[in-house]
Structure 1
Amino acid sequence: MDICIRKAEGEKDLSFMLGLGRRLAAVIETGLHEPAEIQAFQDAFSAVNLRNPAAGSLSLIAEDSVGIGHGFLHALPGADGITGRTIGYVALLAVTEEAEGTGVAKRLLASAEDWAREQGYAALSLDVFASNHRGRLFYERNGFATETLRLVKKL
């Protein structure tokens, strides 16, 4: 698949992200949050990050040679949970069903790693829901290791 990675911009890109956000939310199962809450959070997050991005943040689109989107990524400066130093943080990464297994997610993640290195960050972190088995395996295959586990109890 011939893919170009570019900076995301405009309402067309936001519309694409919102559509993919629904797919991403569908793999999340928690005993605490309803699917509609997860979807609303992701939609709002993508909208803010595209319309009013935080300083130093990154939003990318992976598209083919005719401009069809196949994935997106949001990354921003984050804090290391131990030292407090600023590191890169991948907030959202999603690809279309057709792009699964084609290297699109890997290219988006590699772009985020390049961005983090350019910023002088010593690490890149992310969160992945426990129910997202495919995502967890993808991140592990790309060098990410579990550092903490967040446990939640619904009251």
Structure 2
Amino acid sequence: MIIRPATADDLSFIHAQAPRLAGVADLAWRTAEEVMHFQRAFMHETLEAPRPGAVTFIACDGDERLGFIHAEPQLDIFTDRQCAYVPLLAVTPVAEGRGVAAALMAAVESWARGQGYANVALDVFASNVRGRAFYARQGYGEETLRLVKDIR
């Protein structure tokens, strides 16, 4: 497996991962259509006009793309210093359990160190138990929790 910078040729693969990302959001007050709409719009905004200094990596095994990660500079809310923020990480079903996500996270951490950042931050759906466990195994700790109430 190799990790390489993404190119314009990778965008269709990346966008095709939207159902995987939306599928982990088990939100009783949101319809599947609302979650998918959010995911597609968020990915479009994040990837089509990336923030200055952003990076996207692709994991490949030969010609087969296995996953991607996107990271960008963001202000740390506690220190007001730049850190790395990971808004998107997805692997294909065949890549699950093969260390692909860990390799992508390691690539971003290495990139972030090279930028002089002190930390890497990310968000994960609270209902994504598997994702939260993965990030905990990678050494990430929960810092904030967003709560929502449906008042319709």
SS at match of 1:89: strand
**Residue 7 (structure 2) pairs with residue 9 (structure 1):** yes
Sequence identity of aligned pairs in percent? 49
Question: CA offsets per residue over residues 56-103 of structure 1, 9 Å max, x none?
Answer: 1011111111x1111011111112122222110010111011111101
Q: Aligned partners of 2:29 and 2:114: how far apart in 1?
A: 37
Is the contact made by 1:14 and 1:47 (CA closer than 8 Å) also made in structure 2? no
- Equivalent positions of 1:1-155 (< 5 A) are 3-10=1-8, 12-65=9-62, 67-155=63-151
Give the counterpart letter for 2:116 in structure 1. G
TM-aligned CA distance change 1:31 to 1:78, over 3 Å: farther
Q: Aligned partners of 1:37 and 1:4: how far apart in 2?
A: 35
Is the contact made by 1:18 and 1:46 (CA closer than 8 Å) also made in structure 2? yes
Q: Please, which runs of 5 or more residues in structure 2 have no aligned partner? A: none
Moved more, 129-138 or 49-58: 49-58
- Give the superposed CA RMSD: 1.5
Q: Please, which runs of 5 or more residues in structure 1 have no aligned partner? A: none
Task: Report deviation, 1:40.
Answer: 2.6
Q: Aligned partners of 1:129 and 1:9: how far apart in 2?
A: 28
Give the counterpart letter for 1:47 in structure 2. H
Task: Report deviation, 1:115.
Answer: 1.0
Q: Aligned partners of 1:50 and 1:9: how far apart in 2?
A: 11
